[in-house]
Amino acid sequence: MRVIVVLSKIINWGDKRLEREAEPADTPDAFLKALGESLKVKEGVDAGLADILKTHILKVVPAQNAVAQAKDAVLKLAGERASPPKPEVADG
């Protein structure tokens, strides 16, 4: 089955509009991969969270525990962001 993705539709995000070029996807897997990649680079979308979606959720056949894995990844990301590494002080 061939899935054709037409990304030329206008996507409304509040007052912002984004136009994409038409791009065919041969398989559902290709569509989901393209969707994940486009989310990661879209302005206003958290790239870290988009990566988690791509890794765990946007799969043709996600793992049975995909939601739990995504939740763990979100909690890990939140922890990293809540306590960023402290800059090292140079001896001098």
The arithmetic mean of pLDDT across residues 23-35, rounded, is 86
Q: Does the pLDDT of residue 68 top 70, yes or no?
A: yes
The arithmetic mean of pLDDT across residues 63-85, rounded, is 94
- Look at 23 and 91; give whichever has higher pLDDT: 91
For the chain, the domains span 10-15+24-82
Q: Does the pLDDT of residue 43 top 50, yes or no?
A: yes
The arithmetic mean of pLDDT across residues 16-35, rounded, is 72
How many other CB atoms sit within 10 Å of the CB of residue 53? 20
**Cα gap 5→54, rounded to integer Å:** 17
